[in-house]
Amino acid sequence: MIETPLHRRWFLTLAGAAATVALAPRIAFAAQAATERRFVFIIQRGAADGLEIAPPLGDADYVRRRPALALDPASALKLDTTFSLHPALVQLGEMYKRSEATFIHAVALPYRDRSHFDGQNVMESGGSAPYRVRDGWMNRLAGMLPKTRTPPTAFAQTVPMALRGANRVTSYAPSKLPDANADLLGRVALLYQYDPELQPVWAAAMEARGLAGSDAPDNNPAGVGRLAATFLKKSDGPRIAMIETNGWDTHNQQTRRVTQLLGGLDALLASLRDNLGAAWTQTTVLVATEFGRTAAANGTGGTDHGTASLAMLVGGAVKGGRVIADWPGLAPAALYEGRDLKPTTDLDALIAGAAAETFGLDPARAAATLFPDGLAGRPLDGLIRG
């Protein structure tokens, strides 16, 4: 295309717009004291089997229920007299020994119907039933905190339900396509300037890209942990982040698949710890899944959809080194509907307590904001260092 005065004018507008974008947010946010605390939610999509991740090897009914799937006690780290830790979680075991990890067992959402997609909606929205609440509890948590220059970030290609809502959020995943040049990116910003939906999405994308720098990590668990840590440790970086892990729906070949998945989770947690450096002491990582799996193995070397499972709090800010469980046992009469681990701790109460204590929020107010349909009990306390 021929260069015309019109073209020239657009170019100047573009240069001006770019400068404004770079300067304005810094001024706007410099005055606010952001919290030093970080809260990361690692979601295990697909219903992770808490009974295999932290098996109750001290409960004789466990081996009775799943003779073929039960772990060899010799290979597992003993957490206490009842529970052990899956041997694939080597680094997490080290964190537990250093009081940086707490396991919460027989935990469940208020939801009982065993659909992944409904369960995940309840877990991410914070409602008491599927599709009752339209935005995510992490987005509402963000609303209770000082704004950071980079908003809460999902390390995923798109924004998961838990982060969706009225407060500004972003997502970031390393792209394998070649970089589009900066000039084009600026033009796209102008193209979207009057579009109420695409303008904020694009602004968030540009900001996340600036923050990540040029060394895009590979799409492996350690790489994702490194990427997230790069964002989280910056003084003006996000204080809330979410990382997605998939593939926990082990209807078959459970032993092999869970070992592989836990190896990935272990690498992700270790990479977060190692790359966060000093910020690790300020960090709470919540690991949770939508529901658990049947107490007994199914006919195909796996387990089917169940009810209660396991959640974890990991990080330097966590009062760790213990297992929190009101253990219902796995005797036939103790099972929920005769098949699943019975829930005795409310996952929402755990989340409310952990989030409130991480950021020094009033637990009752945090619970009411994050879980607007109300909690079954009170938020758990004593989870996080003051």
Partner 1 sequence: MTPQATPVMTPDMIPGRDGVTTSVTIALNRFGLGARPEEKAPADPKAWLRRQIDAYDKQPPTIAALPNTFKIIADFGPRPGEARTAEDAVTKQKLEAAIRRGARAIYAAAAEARVMQAVLTDTPFAERLVHFWTNHFAISADKVLVTPFAGSFEAEAIRPHVMGKFEDMLLAVEHHPAMIFFLDQTRSVGPGSLAAERRAVRKGKRDIGLNENLAREILELHTLGVRSGYTQSDVTEFARALTGWSINGYAADTTAADSPAGSFIFRAEVHEPGTRRILGRSYSQSGEMQARAVLHDLAVAPATATHLATKLARHFAGDEPAQTLIDRLAEAFNKSGGDLPTVYRALIEAPECWNARPAKFKTPHDWLVSVLRGTGRRTFQKLQTAPKLIQLGQPMWTPGSPAGWDDVAARWAAPDALIRRVEAAHRLAVLFPNKLDPRELAPQVLAREPSTGTRAQIEGADTRVTALTLLLVSPEFQRR
Nearer to partner 1, 157 or 281 (CB): 157
Residue ranges binding partner 1 (CB under 8 A):
1, 3, 6-7, 9-11, 45-46, 67-68, 113-118, 130, 156-159, 164, 170-173, 175-180, 183-185, 187-188, 190-198, 201-202, 204-205, 208-209, 246, 249, 251-252, 298-300, 302, 304-305, 337
Nearer to partner 1, 178 or 386 (CB): 178
Cα distance between residue 255 and residue 213, in whole Å = 39
User: Please, where are the H alpha helices in the chain?
Assistant: 5-30, 50-53, 60-65, 90-97, 116-125, 137-142, 182-191, 198-212, 221-233, 254-276, 347-359, 363-370
Nearer to partner 1, 326 or 337 (CB): 337
Least distance to partner 1, CB of residue 300, Å = 4
Least distance to partner 1, CB of residue 137, Å = 16
Say if CB 318 and CB 383 are below 8 A apart.
Answer: yes
Q: What are phi and psi of 77, to 5 degrees?
A: -75, 130
Q: What are phi and psi of 136, to 5 degrees?
A: -100, 155
Closest CA to 347 of 166, 171, 156, 120: 120
Nearer to partner 1, 171 or 275 (CB): 171
Least distance to partner 1, CB of residue 114, Å = 7
Cα distance between residue 110 and residue 129, in whole Å = 8
Nearer to partner 1, 158 or 281 (CB): 158
Q: How far is CA 370 from the centre of its chain?
A: 15
Least distance to partner 1, CB of residue 256, Å = 12
Nearer to partner 1, 93 or 160 (CB): 160
Structure tokens at 65: 């229920």
- Find tokens 């840590």 and name the residue: 229
DSSP letter string, 59-82 = -HHHHHH-TTTPPPGGGSEE-SSS
Least distance to partner 1, CB of residue 148, Å = 16
Closest CA to 174 of 119, 128, 134, 213: 213
Cα distance between residue 267 and residue 40, in whole Å = 15
Least distance to partner 1, CB of residue 191, Å = 5
Least distance to partner 1, CB of residue 261, Å = 14
Nearer to partner 1, 161 or 367 (CB): 161
- Cβ contacts of residue 12 below 8 Å, gap of 6+? none
Q: What are phi and psi of 305, to 5 degrees?
A: -60, 130
Least distance to partner 1, CB of residue 52, Å = 17
Nearer to partner 1, 177 or 278 (CB): 177
Nearer to partner 1, 81 or 194 (CB): 194
Least distance to partner 1, CB of residue 152, Å = 12
Classify strands 101-108 and 322-324 as parallel, antiparallel or unpaired: parallel
